[in-house]
Amino acid sequence: MIEKSTYPNPPVLRRSRRPDVQSATQKYQPDAHEAQTASLPRQKRHSWSVPLGMGMLLMILLYLVGITLVLPWTTSQLDHWQSGEGRLTQCDLNVGHHGTSHFLAEYWHQQAIVIEIPQGNPSGAKTYALPILVAGDTLQRTVTLKPLYLSRQPRPGNPDLVVQVEGFAVSPVLYNTGDGFTTEAG
């Protein structure tokens, strides 16, 4: 089996070439404990798809929570920081009423209230109330004003005002008459 070496320090034999120390009489014999556990049903091993599926369900749940809770709360906070508690919007627009006018807009008791304060003449302020017919609406909404030319016969330098109320698809229009606004197209 093992050859004798003539070298003073023989090379170390690797594990795969070492002789078998177990004799034929010392063969493996199963324990009584192993015989008892062999009769028990084997546990099923889960594959890699179970943790992957659980992770996907968790991501879908996080996405839905983000869309239904976090995003509306964030939008509400940003609106609160931008417009305040009363959701009052103010802007300066040149709508052809003797210079730039200062506008205030608010959603109050199911109406969009627009106040125009002409430049240099605060006593000449005009108020326009546009009813938004929604039963039982108690939400605070932001109103924005956009100057556009929508009249059938637009006057250069006199844009109309589109009053956009947050959450409503249809926006009322204030048509420019040259010295004020009206809700009727002309």
Residue 145 lies in a domain: yes
Query: What is the average per-residue pLDDT within 80-106?
Result: 84
Of residues 113 and 44, the one with the higher pLDDT is 113
Residue 64 lies in a domain: yes
CA distance 112 to 165: 7
pLDDT for 179: 84
Of residues 68 and 19, the one with the higher pLDDT is 68
Structure token digits, residue 56: 């996907």
Residue 163 lies in a domain: yes
| 111 lies in the same domain as 165 | yes
Of residues 17 and 165, the one with the higher pLDDT is 165
The domain of 73 spans 56-85
32-58 tens-digit pLDDT: 566 666 666 777 776 888 899 999 999
Residue 73 lies in a domain: yes
Residue 43 lies in a domain: no
pLDDT for 41: 73
For the ranges 39-48, 101-110, 141-150, the one whose mean pLDDT is highest: 101-110
- Give the DSSP H/E element, type plus range, for residue 163: strand 160-165
Instruction: Give Cβ neighbours of residue 68 (< 8 Å, ≥ 6 apart).
Output: none
Contact 142, 126 (CB under 8 A): no
| 78 lies in the same domain as 153 | no
Q: If pLDDT is split at 50, 70 and 90, which confidence band does 61 have?
A: very high
pLDDT for 21: 57
- What are the φ/ψ torsions at residue 114 (nearest 5 degrees)? -120, 125
Residue 16 lies in a domain: no
pLDDT for 16: 61
Q: If pLDDT is split at 50, 70 and 90, which confidence band does 126 have?
A: very high
Report the domain count for the chain: 2
